[in-house]
């Protein structure tokens, strides 16, 4: 008997460890509502410990209410309803203090098909985290709507005007209008690309197609493009270290990373924008820095979040998604990125990507 008792205690301990390892809150009750188990996540979410809840009724220790104030356990009614019912969909519920949790349940029957309910397992998720995610998505929709409205209004207005009054405009006026339409169409395309990138980053579906990439050559091409677009050549400086190792990267994504960082430096910084490429222990580091006001240390953790906009308010623009995307693209390569104060006093964004063959470099 002693051996059997020890074995039962070992099994019970194993079960306790297992439910405490779950990331979501878990409460187990019998069909009558008597609490049988509470894991650590549930105790943290509700403030009700295993010792306090064990053996007590659900409605006494976990008095969940819906938005109409109805008792969730009473409405659940494990002893009643159809014998085929085994799942209760997740829904937002409230505790007396006003805390919101997302609660779902499973009815465990014996026998499994059509039997009496033996136990009810209840999962709990933090409603605050869900609310923050929903607010983030609402902010994204609002930002997108705002950013799309202006260029689409311009495209529609100029196109309609040209169609209705084509013969009344000079060739020079027509060219100006068409160039404006073309630029606004490019702006819409960039926004859509950003949104697709955000979606892929958040869902973990970002694909990296590796090939040998000459980082200094990509930086020179980027600078040449900005100079050709009308920016002064002396605004940019490229510093390349000696003996750079071979890097297998996604060329398009590297161009996007460099482009976003340089655009950020030009838009929010001042003075010379320096791109420095050097070899480090496990890879290649690329720094993009300006000579502006820089970023306060307390703001650094926010820089790579969605919708962050820094710098002088008069210079702000865009969706605030650029640096969030940059971080996602760098990490997809197995790299890291930080922001710090540059030697000249401005902001310095420094990302590092691994070197080696594709098999070695793949995160």
Q: What is the pLDDT of residue 362?
A: 42
Sign of CA dihedral 306, 310, 313, 314: negative
CB–CB of 275/258 below 8 Å? yes
Confidence class of residue 93 from pLDDT cuts 50, 70 and 90?
very high
Whether pLDDT at 155 is above 60: yes
Contact 294, 257 (CB under 8 A): no
Cβ contacts of 355 within 8 Å, gap of 6 or more: 245, 246, 247, 248, 282, 283, 284, 361
Name, in order, each residue with C-beta under 8 angstroms of 249's C-beta and a sequence gap of 6 or more. 208, 210, 211, 213, 215, 333, 353, 361
| pLDDT of 2 higher than 80 | no
The yes-or-no verdict on residue 360 having pLDDT over 60 is no
Distance CA 254, CA 351 (A): 11
Q: Of 80-84, 110-114, 135-139, 285-289, where does mean pLDDT reach its minimum?
A: 135-139
> Mean pLDDT, to the nearest integer, of 128-152?
73
CATH of domain 25-126: 3.30.450.20
Buried b / exposed e along 321-348 (16+ C-beta atoms within 10 A): bbbbbbbbbbbbbbbebebeebebebbb
What's the CATH code, domain 211-354? 3.30.565.10
- Rounded CA separation 162/178 (Å): 9
**pLDDT tens per residue across span 253-277:** 999 999 999 998 998 888 999 999 9
User: Which of 79-83, 130-134, 343-347 has the least mean pLDDT?
Assistant: 130-134
- What span, in angstroms and rounded, lies between the C-alpha atoms of 286 and 352? 6
Q: How far is CA 217 from the centre of its chain?
A: 31
Residue 298's pLDDT is 78
| 3-state SS class at 257 | helix
Q: What is the pLDDT of residue 9?
A: 47
pLDDT of 252 strictly over 80 = yes
Confidence of residue 319 (pLDDT cuts 50, 70, 90): low
CATH architecture of the domain covering 131-203: Orthogonal Bundle (1.10)
Cα angle for residues 179, 180, 181 (degrees, 5° grid):
90
**3-state class (DSSP) for residue 117:** strand
- What is the spatial distance between Cα 139 and Cα 4, in angstroms, rounded to a whole number? 59
Looking at residue 314, its pLDDT comes to 40
pLDDT in tens, 28-74: 999 999 999 999 999 999 999 999 999 999 999 999 999 888 999 99
Q: Is 145 in contact with 133 (CB distance < 8 Å)?
A: no
Domain boundaries for CATH 3.30.565.10 within the chain? 211-354
CATH 1.10.287.130 domain span(s) along the chain: 131-203
CB-CB contact of 322 with 260 (8 Å) = yes
CATH 3.30.450.20 domain position(s) in the chain: 25-126
0.85 surpassed by pTM: no
């Amino acid at each position: 008997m002693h051996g059997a008792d020890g074995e039962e205690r070992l099994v019970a301990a194993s079960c306790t460890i297992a439910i405490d390892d779950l990331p979501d809150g878990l409460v187990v009750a019998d069909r009558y509502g008597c609490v049988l188990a509470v894991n650590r996540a549930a105790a943290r979410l509700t403030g009700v410990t295993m010792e306090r809840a064990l053996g007590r009724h659900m409605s006494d220790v976990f008095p969940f209410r819906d938005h109409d104030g109805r008792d969730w356990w009473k409405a659940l009614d494990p002893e009643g309803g159809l014998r085929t019912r085994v799942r209760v969909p997740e829904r937002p519920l409230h505790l007396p203090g006003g805390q919101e949790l997302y609660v779902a349940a499973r009815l465990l029957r014996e026998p499994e098909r059509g039997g009496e309910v033996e136990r009810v397992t209840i999962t709990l998720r933090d409603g605050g985290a869900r609310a923050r995610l929903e607010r983030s998505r609402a902010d994204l929709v609002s930002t997108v709507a705002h950013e799309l409205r202006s260029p689409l209004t311009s495209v529609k207005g100029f196109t309609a005007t040209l169609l209705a009054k084509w013969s009344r405009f000079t060739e020079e006026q027509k060219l100006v209008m068409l160039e404006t339409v073309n630029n606004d169409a490019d702006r819409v395309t960039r926004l859509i690309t950003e949104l697709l990138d955000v979606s892929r980053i958040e869902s973990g579906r970002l694909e990296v197609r590796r090939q040998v990439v000459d980082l200094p050559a990509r930086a020179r091409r980027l600078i040449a493009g900005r100079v050709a677009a009308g920016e002064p050549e002396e605004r940019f400086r490229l510093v390349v270290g000696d003996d750079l190792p071979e890097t297998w990267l996604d060329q398009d994504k590297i161009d996007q990373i460099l482009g976003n960082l340089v655009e950020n430096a030009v838009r929010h910084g001042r003075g010379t924008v320096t791109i420095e490429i050097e070899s480090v222990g496990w890879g290649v580091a690329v720094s993009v820095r300006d000579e502006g006001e820089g970023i306060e240390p307390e703001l650094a953790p926010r820089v790579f979040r969605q919708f962050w906009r820094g710098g002088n308010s008069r210079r702000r623009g865009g969706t605030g998604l650029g640096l969030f995307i940059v971080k996602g693209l760098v990490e997809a390569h197995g790299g890291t990125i930080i922001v710090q104060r540059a030697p000249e006093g401005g902001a310095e964004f420094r990302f590092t990507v691994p070197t080696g063959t594709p098999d070695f470099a793949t995160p």
